[in-house]
A and B are shown apart, each in its own frame.
Chain A
Amino acid sequence: MYLTAGIAIIVAMALMLARAIVGPTVYDRVLAVNSFGTKTVLLLGVLGFLTGRPAFLDIALLYALINFIATIAILKFFRYGRLTGVMSDENPAREELR
């Protein structure tokens, strides 16, 4: 059963990969990478149960955190063009005004 679930997740990963390769817009690719990270987390969980060691679940949770941070960083980069010191700015339109 876990094997079937794992293969299904890998098929879903292949679909995400296809979207990341083909995807015409930036957002297709960002979304593909984000869901790919989610699929990785799921695959790690399934792998843990497959090898009979559910302790892998902790690792999968940490991956979810890393994936979230990476997606935030990419989106922030696209919104502001850089990564540092923009969170305090309520209105990004002021950037252009100054």
Chain B
Amino acid sequence: MSMILFFAAAASDAEPMMEVTGQAASVAIEILILTLLVATAVSMIRMRQLFGVAMLSGIYSLLSAAFFVALDAVDVAFTEAAVGAGVSTVLVLSGIALTAKREMPVDRRRQLLPLLIVFVTGGALVYSTIDMPAFGDPQAPANAYVGAEYIAQTPQDVEVPNIVTAVLASYRGFDTLGETVVVFTAGLACLLLLGTTLRGGGKGGRD
């Protein structure tokens, strides 16, 4: 459960018993989703047919988006669903169109260095979580300064049930507008590069 849900649960006047069973149930569902994620990842690694891997990566994105929603990180889940399941599946398919249909098995010795890098990176990430403040710690920087203000003021100021949405769309609205402009420009540039001009207005006519 994320911090926001923690506060929402603390603030809501629902019966405590209901809250506990609801939380246990969503933890059970989260564990099931994570199991499916692991199964998807392992079969993506083992599969040699690249189209199947692209489809499985779409499934992986959908699953992780569902998991992010279960963790109450709705904005992250949106990005994951749009970029992961939508755009990147299509990009991977376009890549497959340019290369072979099947993946060649890789030499064992060439797998060692990437494995080492993955382990070192993962170890560094796990090590960095040790320094993080405990979950729900009121002294944590995320809860101490402006965060407390947002949590207190959002119901009156914005009247949006999700505080993250309120922060992104209202308190930091200009910031989000700038980000959207940047992403829109990047998308336009990609479209121009990838070729709406291949047809009609192009020089050769055919691509």
Contact = CB atoms under 8 A, between A and B. Distances in A.
A14 B59 CA distance: 11
Contacts of B97: 77, 81-82
A66 B51 contact: no
B166 interface: no
Given A69-B86, A84-B194, A59 B25 contact: no
Interface in A49-77: 50-53, 55-56, 59, 62-63, 66-67, 69-70, 73-74, 77
Contacts of A63: 65, 81
Contact of A47 (B12, B69, B198): B69
Interface residue SS majority, chain A: helix
B196 A84 contact: yes
B55 A30 contact: yes
Nearest to A10: B32
B100 to A, nearest CB: 16
Contacts of A23: 52
Residue in A10, A14, A53, A86 whose Cβ sees the most chain B Cβ within 10 Å:
A10
Contacts of B52: 20-21, 23, 29
A56 B200 CA distance: 43
A51 B26 contact: yes
A40 B62 contact: yes
Interface string B69-95: 110001001100110011001100110
Given A66-B81, A85-B198, A10 B86 contact: no
Contacts of A13: 36, 63
Interface of A: 2-3, 6-7, 10, 13-14, 16-17, 20-21, 23, 26, 29-30, 32-33, 36-37, 40, 43-44, 47, 50-53, 55-56, 59, 62-63, 66-67, 69-70, 73-74, 77, 81-86, 98
- 6 smallest CB-CB distances across A and B, nearest first, come from A3-B25, A85-B199, A29-B55, A10-B32, A40-B62, A70-B86
10 contacts: A10-B33, A37-B62, A37-B85, A40-B65, A43-B66, A44-B66, A47-B69, A66-B85, A77-B90, A77-B97
